[in-house]
Amino acid sequence: MSIIRQMTLVHIYTDGACRGNPGPGGWAAILVTEADGKKIEKELSGGEKLTTNNRMELTAAIKGLAALKYRCKVVLTSDSKYLCDAVNLGWAKSWQKRGWIKSDKKPALNPDLWERLLELLDAHDVETVWVRGHAGHEYNERCDALATAMADSFKD
């Protein structure tokens, strides 16, 4: 007789922000799961003094997934079309296979972050969902507030 352990379902909501592009940036991830019938939330955030919005969007997803201690079923929700389309449409894996060159023969941006994100996506069972930003989605709004606060913390 074998024991099958059901994977924990974790919702990860992410956002990135940048004041200028490039400029000071922030990222945020909120992890939400249930244990013993109780909702558990964990907020993560950080930033960089000089970065881009897309780097912060990718970093938020990386930090959220990296916070998981074992393989989980994940619904990753982001307002970044760059992130969601590159994952859902297979662009990022294609860039990787071509040595981080896009189909138009130009270099893919942020290969360091994409490399790490693809590793984490393979480590979990991840569904990536796009939501419109600044449209009243509770967790997206919370992530935006955390990310912009981090970006603003780097201003002189």
Active-site pick, 15, 25, 48, 124: 15
Catalytic status, residue 124: no
Active-site pick, 36, 37, 104, 134: 134
Residue with tokens 């059901």: 6
Catalytic status, residue 43: no
Catalytic status, residue 112: no
Check if the beta carbon of residue 45 is closer than 8 Å to that of residue 27: yes
Catalytic status, residue 137: no
What is the DSSP-derived secondary structure letter of residue 39?
E
Active-site pick, 11, 16, 26, 47: 16
Catalytic status, residue 20: no
Nearest residue to 17 (alpha-carbon basis) of 119, 140, 156: 140
Active-site pick, 25, 26, 57, 124: 57
The residues carrying an active-site annotation are 15-16, 57, 79, 134, 144
